[in-house]
Copies of this chain bind each other. A is one copy, B any other.
């Protein structure tokens, strides 16, 4: 059941192929928003499904583009929802941003300006970098009406942009100055998701919204470290003794989760518990086809039977 044997047409998950999938895969990679939870609400059957997979000796990892939390904060969230997950099973785009700087030998003498939330700042600090902006600039305003310009720090060598529910003009202005005026300043996007389910009922603007704003004002394109970029896969490959063909990416977004899985040679399972519907999948304008699709993650458990 390697990728060449799978037909191009996505298959609905069935008892037979669910069993095959579980037998042939050693690690399941799960997106979180829209797969594990919506906002602070666990999606039905998730806990039992994860338990079943663990009982079969499967390795589990959680690969999330949501940069609002650090790995530590995500582990806490899992625990609060009654699921035991360790920090090193979590690969968040906040962690990826810090790791990108690390593997590219970014100087710890330089600062990192953040449009984003505390997750990014925490991961930067854990990696030995100094993150500025983010939550501390949530209330700042440049009083442009009084011709009051702002000063920006010339030692900022990178701007990291992620989801920021306290986005404001000051942050956009500060980051624009860094990218336009600090020579060689890196522009890193945690991800470019258009929207996400940050709460249970609504699809709200995602990091792509903030990244789109910064692309426009800086007239630059970012390096993306979250899905569908394959940057995080290097860390997963170091973690496991097997390759991507033994992994299955489970996600709710075609343009991030499924594309990430396909680009890295994983098997892919699309679930409809998040932002994508079956009619989105089957729309002629969609060219990203998963290996399998099903309504929600716990179908894996139900289809296996008792």
Contacts and interface: CB of A to CB of B under 8 A. Distances in A.
Contact of A195 (B40, B41, B212, B217): B217
Contacts of A166: 168-169
B205 A211 contact: no
Contacts of A215: 212
Q: What band does the interface of chain A fall in when counting residues whose beta carbon is under 8 Å from B?
A: 35 or more
Contact of A210 (B149, B164, B213, B219): B213
Nearest to A176: B205
A135 interface: no
Nearest to A164: B169
Given A144-B165, A168-B167, A172-B167, A205 B192 contact: no
Interface string A166-210: 111100110011001000000000001011001111111110111
Contacts of A195: 176, 180, 217
A180 B206 CA distance: 14
A203 B216 contact: no
Given A168-B168, A169-B165, A217 B200 contact: no
A5 interface: no
A13 B164 CA distance: 47
B167 A200 contact: no
A180 B195 CA distance: 11
A39 interface: yes
A148 interface: yes
A285 B150 CA distance: 30
Contacts of A144: 165, 198-199, 204
Given A167-B167, A176-B195, A194-B219, 12 more contacts: A40-B147, A142-B204, A144-B198, A145-B165, A166-B169, A172-B209, A180-B195, A195-B217, A208-B216, A209-B213, A209-B217, A213-B216
Interface of A: 39-41, 142, 144-145, 147-150, 164-169, 172-173, 176-177, 180, 192, 194-195, 198-206, 208-219
